[in-house]
Amino acid sequence: MLSIGVDIGGTKIAAGVVDEAGTIIAATTRSTPATDPELIEAAVADAVVELRAQHDVVGVGVGAAGFVGADRRTVVFAANLAWRHRPLADELERLVSLPVVVENDANAAGWAEFRFGAATEAEHMLMVTVGTGLGGAIVLNGELVRGSGGFAGEIAHMTAVPNGQWCGCGRRGCLEQYTAGTALVRTAKRRAATGDPLMGPLVQAAGGAKKEIDGPLITRLAQQGDPGARELIAEIGSWLGEGLASISALLDPEVIVVGGGVSAAGDLLLDPAREAYATHLTARMHRSIAPFEVAQMGNRAGIVGAADLAR
Amino acid sequence: MLSIGVDIGGTKIAAGVVDEAGTIIAATTRSTPATDPELIEAAVADAVVELRAQHDVVGVGVGAAGFVGADRRTVVFAANLAWRHRPLADELERLVSLPVVVENDANAAGWAEFRFGAATEAEHMLMVTVGTGLGGAIVLNGELVRGSGGFAGEIAHMTAVPNGQWCGCGRRGCLEQYTAGTALVRTAKRRAATGDPLMGPLVQAAGGAKKEIDGPLITRLAQQGDPGARELIAEIGSWLGEGLASISALLDPEVIVVGGGVSAAGDLLLDPAREAYATHLTARMHRSIAPFEVAQMGNRAGIVGAADLAR
Amino acid sequence: MLSIGVDIGGTKIAAGVVDEAGTIIAATTRSTPATDPELIEAAVADAVVELRAQHDVVGVGVGAAGFVGADRRTVVFAANLAWRHRPLADELERLVSLPVVVENDANAAGWAEFRFGAATEAEHMLMVTVGTGLGGAIVLNGELVRGSGGFAGEIAHMTAVPNGQWCGCGRRGCLEQYTAGTALVRTAKRRAATGDPLMGPLVQAAGGAKKEIDGPLITRLAQQGDPGARELIAEIGSWLGEGLASISALLDPEVIVVGGGVSAAGDLLLDPAREAYATHLTARMHRSIAPFEVAQMGNRAGIVGAADLAR
Amino acid sequence: MLSIGVDIGGTKIAAGVVDEAGTIIAATTRSTPATDPELIEAAVADAVVELRAQHDVVGVGVGAAGFVGADRRTVVFAANLAWRHRPLADELERLVSLPVVVENDANAAGWAEFRFGAATEAEHMLMVTVGTGLGGAIVLNGELVRGSGGFAGEIAHMTAVPNGQWCGCGRRGCLEQYTAGTALVRTAKRRAATGDPLMGPLVQAAGGAKKEIDGPLITRLAQQGDPGARELIAEIGSWLGEGLASISALLDPEVIVVGGGVSAAGDLLLDPAREAYATHLTARMHRSIAPFEVAQMGNRAGIVGAADLAR
């Protein structure tokens, strides 16, 4: 039984035909047409039509950044795209004549890891995606947790620091402001601006231009052993571990999967996260400590997870 | 189909026969025998035997404070009782010859509210018990969330304040240190000790003895309109609302039920909690705000929930 | 004995001849020539030459935003002007042939209040200037405290919130990020962006444009009784009071003078500040609580203080 | 010109005749008589009478823990002794017929370091005493800063963490709760209680009894290289450095002297303090960083400083 998964990103729409083992057996892409909802839908439909022409599929799963209604049909709000209470599933079903479900992209990715990737042995999984921002997906008793309105898993906006850094969401101290790519780069730039000598190699690697510092550069220097870059990533990791300890107090997951661009730093990120997690986890004498695993599905996760959720 | 629910408290063991509508049709109590595990088990068994003599029951549910294994049979750790990795269900089944399940007491109480009390209309519920300490129970998709090891729902030990007040759990800044009866009383005593004039009526009501200030006294004065007592309860409420906003970012519950001794203060507690919750909840423009309901099952909740979970 | 005081602002250079009673008996202004140090010095000299032509003065005091060396002759660093280790006194003495001293502008303003304004009765004064940013001046035993390098009084950059809001200084959680005009406006905009209904009147008064919200608008609405604007100013005031309580633990001032643009809000700012101060001040049962006074010298303070310090 | 210095401690009254070079040329002690003010005064007088019998002295300086009035004659409040608004200088002058001044003990010790110890080259000094609690002394322009009521220098009760650990002073988050001997020991015990393996050697060294862990034991293990003990002291040091950075924003001292029992750990304490200080100090690119010096006067500081202040 095949299904199609679609991952709508800010610049690219990636679609694939996925089998029951989570393998993508055919794929195609479109560029994301700016911010016009109808054009995006047309592009998605176009990709689906191309794929279904060659494969017999039972349905389509679409993953999108943003708040997706619990009915799995409506995009309530998407920060980067122009959808507001958009009945995306209805629109697409009309265009492609296949059953469509919509999922939050972090949920889709998390589901892929749970079914086919780093957490296939688990019943209870927490996945955290550390990219530019911070995403989360929760699986309990083998089921994806969407919450009453579809807003569950927003670990980015749990409060890490009361009265802390202002967040784009209008609140202060959100975890995302401390442990995601944006936080990583901002900290590097701020420290560089104060003349912190540890930031010297990083500024040099950025050609002397502080504003050119970005996440991949920091990761690369860290992997080459630069102490300043390592300290920056370790700080992100510590905040991550501390935040996850609070989440584990609440959910007691079996395994924690860490994905997203920043997870490319591997143990440079995860070791400090593990240490902070163990330090901040309540009752650690009495419980087993959930292992931290690096996500395995890479950028296929969105397609595979969305497709599987559509079955 | 009847079952027996047992609520093992620090001073009293309460047991009852519960029907499928959540009504207690017969009840009995025993005092809790200090801290000897075997004596406690004997007392529980004694109460069960008394009740089953008159009623045809299918099983026994036992609620106990502490960490209960995900298998619902073992008390992993109980702070106030002497159980450490105690196979409580095995022991009781041997004594009473009935199927026994064990549940965390906050989970049992939460389940009672979900099935028969304040949240019968909901599919996704968060219950928080604000007593001397802070307890939590999570129901998602109509199922109680126990976590991989049975430790889920420990909202008491999510971090509210990095590097905040030391907690008995060995960590700093746990939410319980800011929003539970102990926190309420400690704040009152500390403010009284600094000569804060707002604490004057409270000290007077305690017969001039700061150390005699307790939770019920604060609640009573607050209900009589004393501004100092109201401020104390409102502060607890604000912390509660702020903590719940973080939890809702993660779980997006449909309704939040507030129980426990401090909830006797009603809207004096809940209004500040609602206000802080709305302020700290992410994306509040785009979502519906979960209502805060006062628990309805009172001190029957433990018995009724445990009994229902045993069916 | 007359002296000249000069207040170098971002857009205007104001100079005046000041008598020993702190009265400005003659004044002139120049616009501030962009960021060329030499042009600024020429403009200052020009103003001084104009004034001294008519008055017999003994010296010149120049107040400038930035770090001024303890020798009172050098501008070490000025964020908004182009001075870096600039021997300003030397340059000006060469141009005007009068003794010149340089002072930090907040120090000059504080000294004016101490000598002729709100704190003439005191020996120990703390002045805080709540404008766009936050400035401080300390007088102990009747002497201005400049510190070993001239950097004393930088209350803006004491840490109010560990790991809090990033500051332009490259550190996190500086007090200025919580209690100054910039913080006031940012909070208003952030709250407006989340759809907070309390911000409605403010957005309306800004013609519907959130980005047009500014400090004077907030102050005006607060004075008209708008609850949202009052809450914003009260929040700034609370942080101010909390910060001042830490400073008083260290310095135990006799009086605290509050000036700067935001102090136009008067008791709408000061009452919450007083309340938070009393709450957070250590040993308040055993000490007298320093009164908070509104600055009296207005925008003359910089000229008068600089002139007096030049005598 | 000789004078007598007296250091009233919780268990011992130490007195000495001090010359103008800060040398103690004769000394004596008494035990501190419990908490009866008159008996303490009699014991102080007795020690003074003994010393003056052999030496021609011009006056007596008495250092005591607690709040000493700005008139240097009255103990306003002493936490550990029974004085409340006690006219100590009057009482002692009556008993010994010599001029008497009273000083806060941390001020006396700081003055000794400034005049004869670690800061003789400086004009502006901050001294911090890291003992069981945290004390501070400020010297600006060569003068001891006492504040308007004599309460200056209470760095212990500056807020380090908003809503942090409750302090005995009735407020939350005081710096003393994070960087003094009490904090050191409490953290060790809490970590030991959670089964933190890093605390293993410390628990073992305490004979297996967590409650026997104390400051000297931690220091000893740290000096022997134990990683857990070193981490504990480093944490205290980091908080110290962070707190001092806020103080330096305000006062810009030339040198920072660190004394008290915990300073016996030397660079194990000071290196982390220096690092945190440099990280948290504002404008560090533009200023010189005050050196951290270990106090040199040891337990003579109280006597020598009090005696010198009496001249």
Quote the minimal CA–CA distance from A293 to chain C in Å: 28
Q: Out of A32-46, A109-123, B228-242, C14-28, pick the least confident.
A: A32-46
Q: Do residue B124 and residue A140 have CB atoms under 8 angstroms apart?
A: no
Q: Do residue C122 and residue D148 have CB atoms under 8 angstroms apart?
A: yes
- Residue C71 is predicted with a pLDDT of 92
- Rounded to the nearest integer, the mean pLDDT of chain B is 95
Q: Do residue D190 and residue B178 have CB atoms under 8 angstroms apart?
A: no
Buried-exposed string C161-171: b where 16+ CB fall within 10 A, e elsewhere: bbbbbbbebbb
Domain ranges of chain A: 2-111+300-309, 122-295
**What's the whole-number mean pLDDT along residues A78-91?**
86
pLDDT per residue as tens digits for the range A176-209:
999 999 999 999 999 998 888 999 999 999 999 9
CA distance C311 to C108: 13
- What is the pLDDT confidence band of residue C37, given thresholds at 50, 70 and 90? confident
CA distance D24 to B233: 57
Q: Are residues A30 and A62 in contact, defined by beta-carbon separation less than 8 angstroms? A: no
Nearest CA in chain A to C170: A190
Cβ contacts of D204 within 8 Å, gap of 6 or more: none
Q: Are residues C108 and C128 in contact, defined by beta-carbon separation less than 8 angstroms? A: no
Cβ contacts of D197 within 8 Å, gap of 6 or more: none
Testing the interface with A: which of C165, C174, C176, C239 to mutate, by most A Cβ within 10 A? Answer: C165
Quote the minimal CA–CA distance from D164 to chain B in Å: 4
CA distance A232 to A216: 12
Question: What tokens appear for A132 in the block?
Answer: 């530019």
CA B257 to chain centre: 11
β-strand B67-68 against B75-77: which pairing, if any?
antiparallel
Cβ contacts of D132 within 8 Å, gap of 6 or more: D180, D181, D182, D215, D261
β-strand C75-77 against A134-140: which pairing, if any?
unpaired
Listed residue (C265, C31, C7) closest to C111, CA to CA? C7
Tell me if domain C2-111+300-309 and domain C122-295 are identical in fold. Answer: yes
Show residues of chain A in contact with D194, CB under 8 Å.
284-285
- Residue D217 is predicted with a pLDDT of 97
pLDDT per residue as tens digits for the range D132-149:
999 999 999 999 999 999
Nearest CA in chain C to D289: C149
Quote the minimal CA–CA distance from C117 to chain A in Å: 35
Q: What percent of chain B has pLDDT over 90?
A: 89
Q: Chain A: which residues have CB within 8 Å of chain C?
A: 161-166, 169-173, 178, 186, 190-191, 193-194, 196
- What is the pLDDT confidence band of residue A171, given thresholds at 50, 70 and 90? very high
- Residue D285 is predicted with a pLDDT of 84
Q: Are residues B100 and B72 in contact, defined by beta-carbon separation less than 8 angstroms? A: no
pLDDT per residue as tens digits for the range B108-148:
999 999 999 999 999 999 999 999 999 999 999 999 999 99
- Residue A37 is predicted with a pLDDT of 86
**What's the whole-number mean pLDDT along residues D292-302?**
96
Alpha-helical (H) ranges within D132-266 are: 181-193, 200-205, 215-223, 227-251
Q: Do residue C164 and residue A165 have CB atoms under 8 angstroms apart?
A: yes
Testing the interface with A: which of C84, C157, C163, C198 to mutate, by most A Cβ within 10 A? Answer: C163
For the cut 80, the answer to whether the pLDDT of residue D79 exceeds it is no
Which comes out higher in pLDDT, residue C255 or C34?
C255
- Residue A36 is predicted with a pLDDT of 84
Q: Do residue D143 and residue C141 have CB atoms under 8 angstroms apart?
A: yes
pLDDT per residue as tens digits for the range B21-74:
999 999 999 999 877 889 999 999 999 999 999 999 999 999 998 899 999 999
- Residue C10 is predicted with a pLDDT of 85
- Residue D227 is predicted with a pLDDT of 97
- Residue B77 is predicted with a pLDDT of 86
- What is the pLDDT confidence band of residue C64, given thresholds at 50, 70 and 90? very high
Quote the minimal CA–CA distance from D182 to chain A in Å: 21
**What's the whole-number mean pLDDT along residues B223-250?**
97
Largest CA distance in chain D: 60
- Residue C16 is predicted with a pLDDT of 98
Q: Chain C: which residues have CB within 8 Å of chain A?
A: 161-166, 169-173, 178, 186, 190-191, 193-194, 196
Q: Do residue A282 and residue B169 have CB atoms under 8 angstroms apart?
A: yes
Show residues of chain D in contact with C150, CB under 8 Å.
252
Cβ contacts of D60 within 8 Å, gap of 6 or more: D3, D4, D5, D6, D48, D92, D96, D98, D99, D100, D101, D307, D310
Q: What percent of chain B has pLDDT over 70?
A: 100
**What's the whole-number mean pLDDT along residues A38-67?**
95
Show residues of chain C in contact with A172, CB under 8 Å.
165
For the cut 90, the answer to whether the pLDDT of residue C223 exceeds it is yes
Listed residue (C138, C117, C132) closest to C65, CA to CA? C132
- What is the pLDDT confidence band of residue D84, given thresholds at 50, 70 and 90? confident
- What is the pLDDT confidence band of residue A77, given thresholds at 50, 70 and 90? confident
Buried-exposed string C192-204: b where 16+ CB fall within 10 A, e elsewhere: bebebebbebbbe
Q: Do residue C171 and residue A194 have CB atoms under 8 angstroms apart?
A: yes
For the cut 80, the answer to whether the pLDDT of residue C290 exceeds it is yes
Chains that touch B (3 or more CB pairs under 8 A): A, C, D
Q: Are residues C23 and C78 in contact, defined by beta-carbon separation less than 8 angstroms? A: no
Show residues of chain C in contact with D287, CB under 8 Å.
67, 76, 149, 151
Q: Are residues B268 and B222 in contact, defined by beta-carbon separation less than 8 angstroms? A: yes
- Residue A111 is predicted with a pLDDT of 98
Sign of the CA dihedral running D183, D189, D195, D201: positive
Quote the minimal CA–CA distance from A138 to chain B in Å: 9
For residue A177, the 8-state DSSP code is G
For the cut 80, the answer to whether the pLDDT of residue D61 exceeds it is yes
For the cut 80, the answer to whether the pLDDT of residue D165 exceeds it is yes
Q: Do residue B287 and residue A151 have CB atoms under 8 angstroms apart?
A: yes
**What's the whole-number mean pLDDT along residues C74-88?**
85
Which residue type occupies C142?
A: G
β-sheet with C67-68: strand ranges across: C67-68, C75-77, C84-86
Beta bridge partners of B57: B2
- Residue A44 is predicted with a pLDDT of 97
Largest CA distance in chain C: 60
Nearest CA in chain A to B149: A252
- What is the pLDDT confidence band of residue A79, given thresholds at 50, 70 and 90? confident
For the cut 90, the answer to whether the pLDDT of residue D183 exceeds it is yes
Q: Out of A153-157, C64-68, D217-221, pick the least confident.
A: C64-68
Beta bridge partners of D137: D127
Q: Are residues D15 and D40 in contact, defined by beta-carbon separation less than 8 angstroms? A: no
Quote the minimal CA–CA distance from B160 to chain A in Å: 8
For the cut 80, the answer to whether the pLDDT of residue A82 exceeds it is no
Which residue type occupies B306?
A: A
Quote the minimal CA–CA distance from C162 to chain A in Å: 8
Q: Do residue B161 and residue D161 have CB atoms under 8 angstroms apart?
A: yes
β-sheet with A292-294: strand ranges across: A143-144, A134-140, A125-130, A255-259, A292-294
Q: Are residues D115 and D296 in contact, defined by beta-carbon separation less than 8 angstroms? A: no
Buried-exposed string D144-160: b where 16+ CB fall within 10 A, e elsewhere: bbbbbbbbbbbbbbbbb
Q: Do residue D191 and residue B172 have CB atoms under 8 angstroms apart?
A: no
CA distance D1 to D6: 17
Show residues of chain B in contact with D163, CB under 8 Å.
161, 164-165, 178
- Residue A200 is predicted with a pLDDT of 95
Nearest to A147 among B76, B149, B253 (CB): B253
- Rounded to the nearest integer, the mean pLDDT of chain C is 95
CATH of domain B122-295: 3.30.420.40
Nearest CA in chain D to B195: D170
Q: Are residues D286 and A194 in contact, defined by beta-carbon separation less than 8 angstroms? A: no
- Rounded to the nearest integer, the mean pLDDT of chain A is 95
For the cut 80, the answer to whether the pLDDT of residue A81 exceeds it is no
User: 3-class DSSP state for residue C81?
Assistant: coil
Testing the interface with A: which of B144, B148, B174 to mutate, by most A Cβ within 10 A? Answer: B148
Cβ contacts of D119 within 8 Å, gap of 6 or more: D113, D125, D127, D139, D254, D255, D257, D293
Q: Which CATH architecture has domain D2-111+300-309?
A: 2-Layer Sandwich (3.30)
Q: Are residues D138 and D244 in contact, defined by beta-carbon separation less than 8 angstroms? A: no
- Residue B280 is predicted with a pLDDT of 94
Token pair 């749970």: residue: A114
Q: Out of A80-89, A150-159, B273-282, C4-13, pick the least confident.
A: A80-89
ipTM above 0.85, yes or no: yes
Testing the interface with D: which of B77, B157, B161 to mutate, by most D Cβ within 10 A? Answer: B161
Q: What is the pTM of this model?
A: 0.94
Q: What percent of chain A has pLDDT over 70?
A: 100
- Residue C283 is predicted with a pLDDT of 87
For the cut 90, the answer to whether the pLDDT of residue D174 exceeds it is yes
CA distance D148 to B117: 60
Which residue type occupies C186?
A: R
Token pair 């809790």: residue: B32
- What is the pLDDT confidence band of residue D34, given thresholds at 50, 70 and 90? confident
- Residue D96 is predicted with a pLDDT of 96
Question: What tokens appear for A175 in the block?
Answer: 């975890």
Nearest CA in chain B to C193: B285
Nearest CA in chain A to D163: A162
Question: What tokens appear for D167 in the block?
Answer: 């302090």
β-strand D12-18 against D24-31: which pairing, if any?
antiparallel
β-strand D12-18 against D2-8: which pairing, if any?
antiparallel
pLDDT per residue as tens digits for the range A225-284:
999 999 999 999 999 999 999 999 999 999 999 999 999 999 999 999 999 999 999 988
- What is the pLDDT confidence band of residue C79, given thresholds at 50, 70 and 90? confident
Show residues of chain B in contact with C195, CB under 8 Å.
284-285
Q: Do residue D194 and residue A163 have CB atoms under 8 angstroms apart?
A: no
